[in-house]
Structure 1
């Protein structure tokens, strides 16, 4: 069997055309259908374990094969764990989506969608009028038959999420440091360094750029030559001519609806005498030669509102700018009330700018005459505006030319910007949800997140803008309604976007998955939780911060629910129109005075926490008055002199008492006492004389006398007083 299968495969793959392949596949399919019809009562055979396992194995292989085929075409089907009839319906819907894509690709490849002799359709829309400004006509010029310029680029546009934007520059003219594009890491995102970062950081304006000049009024548009640059030879001649200029004016026209990252469709360059229109679509990949002029620090490039122009030049042209003067930044420094280019042209040139083609499709080729006149007008008068604003900045600045220096510094910051691809993450849909001001449950939020990510993935693959794939209002409508059927998805879109038709099955699968999610209640925050709470630490109190109930710095700028005299109420700062009850009591010890401190108890818990360790000056004075007698007594004790002699005498007295205290006597001493008692008593005169004799403390000879006689003759105090009261 294996040898026969290999021989059949070789015969099948040998020199066959597409039609022969299709015929062979259809023949095998018909044979399988005949065999399946002949197998009657197959469900009876499923009782056997071997037959049942074989059927399940074949069923799993077929299901996985069909799923892989659809996944290869970015169509997600969940054929597992579903009923057989549902599987047939899903496969039928997938086939319809595939056939729709195939028909669209065949029509585009065969040229049926292309009309070579098309004329752009002009639509005139009446703008709303007011009492001050009359109504104006807005011209929208576009064509459905414009082919995408990306299809003719030699290098395919990279919209992937994995790879960061890689600069297109291969040479670095006017460099102070050799070309080195290094990959850097910012958190978790990678990016490539700015090629001219070193040159921009070390660039300083020339002293001649900080001096006044005589404004040179430009020639009328009819008397100024206009050159359309569409070939490499014309581009090289333009670069040679621009090198001889000291300043040039630059402007760009951009298109973002039929491209994911956007397209630079036109570059306008004006000198003092000529105007040029460069076609970046025809010269894709050849515009890096402009760096010889745009990075020359001796040539001033004048732009208006260059925040996006700098990024578009890096992305589509590989062009970087050194020495730029942004007239929009100059208008900000000069504090103009109106800072648009139309306002500057009206102020300095007395010209009303024609903005009827601002929303035009600049991919149209060849460019109509009206488009060309509109495009050259933006850069034709820009050098004259630059002269006037430059003189005004110097006049209004100080001796150091601070104003014009600030404009150049801001312009350098704009030139240092790097282009990065748009980043879409799992939480990117939340910004759209907040702006919509709608309330979604968990099912609707799941649908919104998945549809938002699906829209971004399709836009990257097809190189279309997300709004072209599915506009935002339609996205919100589908996520809110959650239609059960695919016709309901189409009913939410009017008009139906082309990619919604081809990807209808994928959208329906996302909605079905959203409807299967668990419905959880959405907890809305109360008003008290939304108001920020005021929390003050004791460290702030120690620095001198005083809490006032009338301090509304933490409240919104225009509050509508503040308490009034007629409607008083409690707030986070207490009652604004009545003082809280204060109870004063003495408690704890003061760290300052070492004794008591006053403790304030407010009915408001917040004030109680704040003021439990705080003492006003009056409270400190009252506490000091209460402590003053105690402090004075302690101070007097410390000031009195200490009588060391008196202390020594008292000590000697108590030592003498301890020595004269009778102690236990031995047998020999008791015998001596008995002998002494047997001695004859002295006469009265002799006894009287002995009593008048003073006793010397500590004499060993007097230990035999009784304790009573010693106490009678001992004197206390400073003088020795006898028994009779006389002082010796």
Structure 2
């Protein structure tokens, strides 16, 4: 079906070529390797601008998503096949946007983490296990560019060409390490994870917002962010390419009194800083006059930073430190990163508000309610319970000695 020589990479853009490709892919053997290229940093949307598919006996097939539209036929052809992705969580959203949604996956980046690889980038893992060097010079390119240069297409093809071989090598390593079941649970968790919740105040993502003082200044920052976000969405341009965060922060701090003062601010720069000056001045005025002032701190079930625990909740601090040490030791023994062995936030929450009765079962139930997987609970609940009990006993002994 596909000629994989570098000079002949072709992107499928027509309906007839698309259907021919689907027939070939459906007739292939084994897992499907799949990847997507976006235009992050260039476009507002996170849509896929190139989708690469590889299957043995077929080779690499490159699709142009904007030209193809819905991938209904491809989804039907490969839905029940295992999909191999590297860092699946980064690509699933844009794949689902065009109708591609796997039933089961093998995530080579996640597998590398579970195997204890110190570096888990695709190029590093491929070179270590398969002995092939992957050039990554186009990873941050603007994939909305048309036509796509051949060098970019070759780079994109190589991203999937070796994924199935990599999957096979890692599956063997997982089995040898007794981690196959762990990997399956983690892969399934990636599939089932809800899309990232939209923040109630997304403008608080502004880089440098912590340096803005005063509710009125925060209101100006908010209105500038909202105005920029609206324009970026309309133009499908990354917001920072219109006016950078630093410029919005500078305006919010300066609180310019007039449109002219805003226009004369050196710190207020960017490709749209002057062409859309009326828009930005309207946002500044809206922030200066609104009665809907933001709160300094957002409400929510947010724990204090661990560095403050020793003063605010010494018992929780002792529990957390003891349990962290135990989990870290287990992480080294199992050659699994701490953050994969157990989500650090889960451990903090259990340490801050532990069950009334401390044992493996109650700790396990608390972790399950937070979202921990079965294997994580099996690995950590007992040692966390023991660490909590030891921390409590140590504090009692210290209190007795002090008295």
User: Which band: TM-score by shorter chain?
Assistant: 0.5 to 0.7
Superposed displacement of residue 511, structure 1: 2.6
Q: CA RMSD in A?
A: 3.9
Indicate the SS of the match to 1:236. Answer: helix
Q: How far apart are the structure 1 equivalents of 2:177 and 2:248?
A: 52
Residue pairs, 1:295-314, within 5 angstroms:
295-296=79-80, 299-314=81-96
Q: How far apart are the structure 1 equivalents of 2:270 and 2:91?
A: 30
Residue pair 2:243, 2:271 contacting (<8 A) in 1 also: no
1:40-77 CA distances to partner (integer Å, 9 max, x unpaired)? xxxxxxxxxxxxxxxxxxxxxxxxxxxxxxxxxxxxxx
1:662-707 CA distances to partner (integer Å, 9 max, x unpaired)? xxxxxxxxxxxxxxxxxxxxxxxxxxxxxxxxxxxxxxxxxxxxxx
1:692-726 CA distances to partner (integer Å, 9 max, x unpaired)? xxxxxxxxxxxxxxxxxxxxxxxxxxxxxxxxxxx
Q: Match of 1:162?
A: none
Q: Match of 2:202?
A: 428
Indicate the SS of the match to 1:444. Answer: helix
Match status 1:236 vs 2:19:
yes
Superposed displacement of residue 515, structure 1: 4.9
Superposed displacement of residue 492, structure 1: 3.9
Residue pairs, 1:8-407, within 5 angstroms:
222=5, 226-244=9-27, 245-273=29-57, 274-285=59-70, 287-296=71-80, 299-315=81-97, 317-397=98-178, 403-407=179-183
Indicate the SS of the match to 1:276. Answer: strand
Match status 1:457 vs 2:230:
yes
Superposed displacement of residue 242, structure 1: 1.7
Cα distance, 1:332–1:499 mapped onto 2, change above 3 Å: same
Q: Match of 1:409?
A: 185
Q: How far apart are the structure 1 equivalents of 2:280 and 2:310?
A: 41
Superposed displacement of residue 475, structure 1: 0.9
Residue pair 2:75, 2:101 contacting (<8 A) in 1 also: yes
Q: How far apart are the structure 1 equivalents of 2:241 and 2:72?
A: 31
1:305-328 CA distances to partner (integer Å, 9 max, x unpaired)? 01021111111x111111211111
Cα distance, 1:390–1:484 mapped onto 2, change above 3 Å: same
Q: How far apart are the structure 2 equivalents of 1:514 and 1:423?
A: 23
1:647-667 CA distances to partner (integer Å, 9 max, x unpaired)? xxxxxxxxxxxxxxxxxxxxx
Indicate the SS of the match to 1:277. Answer: strand
Structure of higher CA gyration radius: 1
Query: Which runs of 5 or more structure 2 residues have no equivalent in the other structure?
Result: 298-307, 323-394
Indicate the SS of the match to 2:156. Answer: helix
Q: How far apart are the structure 2 equivalents of 1:325 and 1:263?
A: 22
Residue pair 2:107, 2:187 contacting (<8 A) in 1 also: yes
**Structure 1 length-normalised TM:** 0.39
**Structure 2 length-normalised TM:** 0.67
Indicate the SS of the match to 1:255. Answer: coil
Indicate the SS of the match to 1:440. Answer: coil
Q: How far apart are the structure 1 equivalents of 2:172 and 2:89?
A: 24
Q: How far apart are the structure 2 equivalents of 1:513 and 1:242?
A: 55
Query: Which runs of 5 or more structure 1 residues have no equivalent in the other structure?
Result: 1-219, 398-402, 525-529, 537-546, 558-609, 620-728
Superposed displacement of residue 506, structure 1: 3.3
Q: Match of 2:305?
A: none
Cα distance, 1:221–1:449 mapped onto 2, change above 3 Å: same
